[in-house]
Structure 1
Amino acid sequence: MAVAYTTHNRILTVTLSGEIDHHRVKGVLQDLDQAIDEVLPRQLIVDCAGITFMDSSGIAVLLRLWQRMGELDGTIQVTGLPEQPARVLRAAGLQRLIPLT
């Protein structure tokens, strides 16, 4: 899985691509935590358009990001969800916590 970051006016955009599974999540979570600590964003946008596969590990990543943004009184939004990851996240009910578009 590849991760790219951009920032502008305390808006952090994270672009994810490739497969999100349990083999890749630990390092990604550490990188995401570090980016949030550096930027202290008021809004986090997670662009998932490039994700080719997601299992329950993707749910864990997004819940962690949701928690971190709550600690900062910020917001999180997930955009560009392909069909397979969208099914995984909606089956878990994540849309009740995080806007999924």
Structure 2
Amino acid sequence: MECKYELKGGNLTIRMPKELDHHCASQIQVEADLLLQSYLVKRLVFDFSETEFMDSSGIGVIIGRYQNLRYAGGEVVASHLNARMSKIFVISGLHKIVKIEKEEDGSESGDEK
């Protein structure tokens, strides 16, 4: 699994792996929660630039981190969604709670909270 974490100021970026299945999701959940508890994170960005597959456990990781940050006044963002990931976000309803950044300029698209 190739998942990388980058912390700058109050922003935490998680570069998601190529395949986000149950095994990877469990590891991301533990590591992300540790970082969220250890640092003052106000903005969590899930970078899907290399992700080709995500199952329901990946959706659960995103929803769980959204709930944690929402209570702390933070936000969760998804970036670099390909067509497959965009479809998963729409079908699962994630696009309603997670801000989606367009690739070129970092602007938002989709429904907001």
Q: Give the alignment's TM-score, normalised by structure 1.
A: 0.90
Aligned residues: 101
Q: Give the alignment's TM-score, normalised by structure 2.
A: 0.81
Greater fraction strand: 1
Q: In structure 1, what residue type is equivalent to 2:78?
A: V
Q: 1:65: how far off?
A: 1.2
2 CA distance for matches of 1:11 and 1:23? 25
Structure 1 residue runs of 5 or longer lacking an equivalent are: none
Q: 1:24: how far off?
A: 2.3
Pairing 1:94–2:104 present: no
Q: Which residue of 1 aligns with 2:106?
A: none
Q: Secondary structure at the match of 1:5?
A: strand
Structure 2 residue runs of 5 or longer lacking an equivalent are: 102-113
Q: 1:17: how far off?
A: 2.0
Q: Percent identity?
A: 25
2 CA distance for matches of 1:24 and 1:12? 18
Q: Which residue of 1 aligns with 2:46?
A: 46
Q: In structure 2, what residue type is equivalent to 1:95?
A: H
Q: Which residue of 1 aligns with 2:23?
A: 23
Q: Which residue of 2 aligns with 1:36?
A: 36
Give the alignment's Cα RMSD to 1 decimal.
1.3
Query: Which has the higher relative contact order, 1 or 2, with Cα contacts under 8 A spaced 6 or more apart?
Result: 1
Do the aligned partners of 1:54 and 1:84 also contact (CA within 8 Å) in 2? no
Q: Secondary structure at the match of 2:73?
A: coil
- Moved segments of 4+, more than 2 Å: none
Do the aligned partners of 1:40 and 1:72 also contact (CA within 8 Å) in 2? no
